[in-house]
Amino acid sequence: MGSPGSAHSPFPLFPPPVHFNGVKLVVETPEDAIFTYRGANITLPCRYHYEPKLETPRKIRIKWSKLREDNTKERDVLVAIGLKHRSFGEFRGRVHLRQRGEQEASLVISDLRLQDYGKYRCEVIDGLEDESGIVELELRGVVFPYQPHHGRYRLNFHEAKKACEEQDAVIASFEQLFKSWEEGLDWCNAGWLLDGTVQYPISLPREPCGGKRLAPGIRSYGERHKNLHYFDVFCFSSALKGKVYYLAHPEKLTLEEAKQACQDDGAEIAKVGQLYAAWKFFSLDRCDAGWLADGSIRYPIAFPRPNCGPPEPGVRSFGFPDKGKFGVYCYKLN
């Protein structure tokens, strides 16, 4: 039998990596994810160097892109050559390079948005070589189940994404749902996730929720048809730029009166994602049911006590009443 790579061998001969002039370009990015909050300014570290060190610097082109959920189909974020750079899409005007040293290519993102979480590629191109590294950005936040006023399992995937956005949130990723399950989230209604799967988190196994014999975990229906199948949705929200508060008002209000009362107070009626974020990050605790923008009645309990619902912290819901008068939760920018 011939040697590997010979005409008689079934194995192709793969040449060893070629480094021009014996010089190797190395790109360094952190292995651990970077955690931050909505509204923050964050730096995604990226440095590069040559092995061995170059005597004469080469002209460098730096490209940052954002990976999609399946790590393919990247979206351009920023391209830079020397001091000139161009940013793209929703990142335009919010990103720039931090180049404090000769071989730094770190990306600074300002005023982080909910959609900014994910994986980013730092690519360094010098005309001869092209190397890259991945930086993972995660937002600290809260996952909450959501169903619209017309009932359970009424949203296809596209409607689910829109429903979250209308509540100052985005559709949650599997990783975000898993982290919330680790923190105790338990919900027996299946909901859409960003990757097009339908899943639900169970901390306390029981018969209606997959059975008592199954271990705690994330129950999955797998991928479903994004147009034809209907479920609830899991949404994700993060820290707020403003504050949520229960409006002190002498009378209970209808939904329309509640909206007007918040406006009269220089605010707007709060959205579901804003109430969850205020509960999660600011320990908002109020045992008074109030209107929210979607027409639901809810109240946040950070410190459980008698006559304020179950013994666990959470946002309590009374659903979507057709009529009645209640208090209201407002949201005001700082």
Which CATH number is 61's domain given? 2.60.40.10
Residue 210 CA to residue 206 CA, distance in Å, equals 7
Residue 299 CA: distances (Å) to CA of 248, 270, 287, 288 = 14, 12, 6, 6
Say which residue the tokens 């005597």 belong to: 55
Helix, strand or coil, per DSSP, at residue 331: strand
**Domain harbouring 315, CATH code:** 3.10.100.10
Residue 22 has pLDDT above 80, yes or no: no
Q: What is the pLDDT of residues 273-303, one digit of tens each?
A: 999 999 999 999 999 999 999 999 999 999 9
Clarify whether residues 47 and 129 are in a common domain: yes
Clarify whether residues 132 and 28 are in a common domain: yes
| Domain count of the fold of the chain | 3
User: Does residue 86 lie within any of the structural domains?
Assistant: yes
Clarify whether residues 152 and 81 are in a common domain: no
User: Does residue 198 lie within any of the structural domains?
Assistant: yes
Domain coverage including residue 85: 24-139
Provide the residue type at 245 as one letter.
Answer: Y
Clarify whether residues 209 and 150 are in a common domain: yes
Clarify whether residues 67 and 101 are in a common domain: yes
- For residue 203, the 8-state DSSP code is S
Task: Calculate mean pLDDT across residues 261-283.
Answer: 97
Clarify whether residues 213 and 258 are in a common domain: no
Neighbouring residues of 245: CB distance < 8 A, sequence distance ≥ 6: 329, 330, 332
Q: What is the pLDDT of residues 154-191, one digit of tens each?
A: 999 999 999 999 999 999 999 999 999 999 999 999 99
H helix intervals, the chain = 157-166, 174-182, 255-264, 272-282
Asked if 142 contacts 277 with a C-beta cutoff of 8 angstroms, the reply is yes
Clarify whether residues 253 and 208 are in a common domain: no
